Amino acid sequence: MEAPSARRAPGRRKASGPADIDGKLEAWIDAWQPLIAELEAARWAGITAGLRARSRAAQAIVAANPALDWPLMNLDKRQGEAEFRRVLGSLGGWGSEFNRAWLARMRQDDAYWQEVPATEDWSGAWVPNARILSGLPCGEQEYLRGFLWSLRGAKPSGKWAARAREIASGRNGRRIRRAIIDWLETLPVAKVSSELVRNRPDLLCFRSFRRYALEDIERTGSPEAAALLAFFTPPFPLWTYWSWGLRDPAILSEGAARLVRAAAWMLTNWRDEEVVAALRKSAEATLMRVAMRGGGVEYRSLLAANTCILALGEIASPEAVQALGRIKLGIRDERLSKQIAAAMEAAAARAGMTVEDLEELSAPDLGLGEVGVKSLRLGDFSATLRVVSTTRVDVALARSDGRPVKTVPAAIKADKESRAALKELKELGKTLAQALPVHRQRIESLYLAKRSWPLAVWRERFLDHPVVGTIARRLIWNVAGPGGEARSFLWPDGAPINSRGRRAAGLRDDDIVTLWHPLDARQEDVALWRAFLMERKLVQPFKQAHREVYPLTDAERAIGLYSNRFAGHILRQHQSVALARRRGWRATLRICADVPNDQPTHVRMRDYGLAAELWTEAAGGIDAEVTDTGAYVFISTDRVRFRRLTTGAEGREELGEPVPLEAVPPRLFSEVMRDVDLFIGVASIGNDPYWTDRGADAEHPNQWRNTARIYWEQHANAPLVASGENRREILAEIIPSLAIAERCSFSDRHLVVRGNLRTYRIHLGSANVFRDDDVYLCIVPRSGPEAWDTAFFPFEGDRLLSVILSKALMLASDDRITDPSILSQLRK
């Protein structure tokens, strides 16, 4: 970290051995200690004659060496004396600890530091590795680094962009391109190293001290002279190094971020694959989140990342669009999602196609040779990556004869290339596991759009795509021929099969494909597909054949413009907002502040010119609970309504007048209500097994807590909505195949389980458990998907269904329960 004092850029030092370095640092410390003692005395006795004499000695050293241009505190001058007194007033008193014992301790800690990759300090005044950009002429008396620094705005001016094009096409253009790419490749840092520095600021202090002390010793000629100059350099740089306000060195300073911004815009003048890769990697490197000492997390640099995203949108090549798609895979931040969406829209406009086409074309194959599989030969062994589900990707090892290997063989560990290839394959598995849920959500969101494809195009973008195909092949699709009549098929192995298990024939490349929805199908077809999945043990990436449907009710028809079906629920705000955003809704946190922040959570369905909004408000009234940042902890739900999408001032899309519910297409209405039901099913306090302890018996009970307790009790046994009814139907299909079948039965809203000690009721909407004497039984589910390994489910994603079945399996053998918290409740 660069100290606030003015210093020249570090020059090249002669190599020194460890012993020589230790001796110089110890001599520096020995010279520093008497100065600290005099400083402590000066706090009470004032500036002494000895300090004035030492100040003159420091001035003489600088005067004798013109290369030392540091501004020192001259105690013979009024300004220097005033500066010194200001330093005295802020002295922290730790200077005496800066001694040989500290030095020895830091050397020992630094030995551990050497075991992890070193982190460049991107947060200081000196931009790391900027020398790569120096010395390249852009014209007469103009050099690359200076030209890049001349970009002041977020986007290039016309003049700057024109000059950049001239430079790129000039005789040094290729060297300049290479230098910028090489410099951007230095941006990534090791997160473990960054976190070590954050947790150990004293270690960073030591490394900064060692670096600058050795440079100063070389310049001044002796450790004593270097310590003396450091002492009279305001405001004592060593205190700055020690400061608890120290930023993580991975965070980009304003200067570093500006240089990345200019470099990214400069690269748009070449637009080749290597340039696109450099911009993508730079965006990902600067979007790394590091934990802050005071709590929370921070991106390394949003300014730099946003510029790389905009530059990719400007390039707009197929490779650039794929790069944007890859960046989007790891994004959960609404601000960044909007930025990427804007870049995609700009790229789509330049390419003359829709954003949807662009997204489908930009889905990266991640190097997979076939759908969901990639194999490597590692000497006498093979490694195979295989997509098992939308959230699980396995890497398996096998011998040449096909026999599986459970642990990494010694031969692979000993071979550097094989070891690196296996590590790369496992990293690819992690990337795939992050990408698949994003593609799943993108496909599921087609239910809110009018999207169709010719069969040949659909095959290329979905069925045969190495990554997307792992999802598309487990879904049901409608295929309509020239006559317009649609038939539904599933492609588990790449070939179409109908709901009766028969291979399809006569499909043409120009037939039109759409995503199948049970609301648009006959009940007979829905039943056949459900039976097909159960018989073949096929797991869909999301509920499709077993999907809940939400038809309009008579009460909603009577109200007309909105639905109160899901009003009055109390949700954990942060959880519900995060889920809404993942489902494609626009949601902002409600905060306790005198500023407008009451925009409803809403989703836009542009193909239909409609938007749906869920109204919410802070839960708790005057007793509402808030976080340290002022956000409400809990919100309560209100009405759901639909509005027209209109075009407002400056062509901006706005929400217009409400639309009668009967005018909303049934599939759109059902999907919106399903999402709202999902928000409640996941984020409601009614699903929290601990809530009763925090409510009625809270440390400071109030009216809000009493209201919340009443809501919890009602929700725990409420009549089932569509999601609960759906779970009952699915469990009715699954349970007969389980060993506990004869111990289970169903009531109107519960799964009833007969144990050896008692009988229990598990609510199919909340998963709450009650004993046969109506006493609530608090059972907290484990975080793992335990029930998925016990029974077959024909779809992924309904964790509450898994929790219900897990509880049923446990309670059916209640005499074998060993968990003390559950046993204590059973014995009451």
Tokens of 66: 């013109």
Token look-up 């959500």 returns 441
Separation of alpha carbons 335 and 341, rounded Å: 10
| Residues lower than pLDDT 50 in the chain | 1-15, 92-94, 237, 239-245, 695-698, 784-788
- Token pair listed for 307: 């510029």
Number of alpha carbons in the 13 Å side-chain half-sphere of residue 519: 16
How far apart are alpha carbons 360 and 442 in whole angstroms? 9
Amino acid in the structure at residue 514: T
Q: Are 268 and 223 in contact (CB under 8 A)?
A: no
- In one-letter notation, the amino acid at residue 755 is G
Separation CA 383–CA 647 (nearest Å):
54
Closest by CA to 617, choosing from 638, 631, 603, 602, is 638
Rounded to whole angstroms, the Cα distance separating 75 from 54 reads 9
Q: How far apart are CA 27 and CA 610, in angstroms?
A: 75
Q: What is the dihedral of CA 572, 573, 579, 581, to 10 degrees?
A: 180
Give me the pLDDT at residue 613, please: 95
Tell me the residue type at 486: A
pLDDT tens for 2-23 read: 333 334 333 334 445 667 888 8
Is the alpha carbon torsion for 242, 244, 245, 248 positive or negative? Answer: positive
Q: What share of the chain is helix, strand, coil (3-state, %, to 5)?
A: 50, 15, 35
Residues in the chain: 828
Report which DSSP code applies to 236: -
d(CA 630, CA 573): 12
User: What are the phi and psi torsion angles at 297 (to 5°)?
Assistant: -130, 165
Backbone angles phi, psi at 497, to 5 degrees: -130, 135
pLDDT at residue 260, rounded to an integer: 95
Q: Phi/psi at 28 (nearest 5 deg)?
A: -65, -45
Distance CA 586, CA 603 (A): 6
Backbone angles phi, psi at 211, to 5 degrees: -60, -50
DSSP string for residues in 58-83: HHHHHHH-TT-------TTSHHHHHH
pLDDT at residue number 316: 83
DSSP string of 472-526, one letter each residue: HTTSEEEEE-TT--EEEEE-TTSS-B-TTSPBP----TTSEEEE--GGGS-HHHH
Query: pLDDT value at position 277?
Result: 92
State pTM to two decimals.
0.72
Please report, as a single letter, which amino acid is at residue 720.
Answer: L
Within 8 A by CB and 6+ apart from 264, the residues are 279, 282, 304, 307, 308, 310, 311
Residue 632 burial (C-beta neighbours within 10 Å; 0-12, 13-18, 19+) = buried
**Owner of token pair 């290839």:** 421
Identify the DSSP state of 633.
S
Tell me how far apart the alpha carbons of residues 215 and 209 are, in angstroms, rounded to a whole number: 10
* pLDDT in the model for residue 162: 94
Query: Containing H/E element for 751?
Result: strand 750-754
CA distance 635 to 577: 10
Contacts of 457 (CB under 8 A, 6+ apart): none
* Main-chain phi, psi angles of 761, to 5 degrees: -120, 125
Residue 268 to residue 307: CA distance in whole angstroms:
11
∠ CA 790-795-797 to the nearest 5 degrees?
A: 90
pLDDT tens per residue across span 337-382: 777 888 888 888 877 888 888 888 878 888 888 999 999 999 889 9
Number of DSSP helices (H) and strands (E) in the chain, helices first: 30, 23
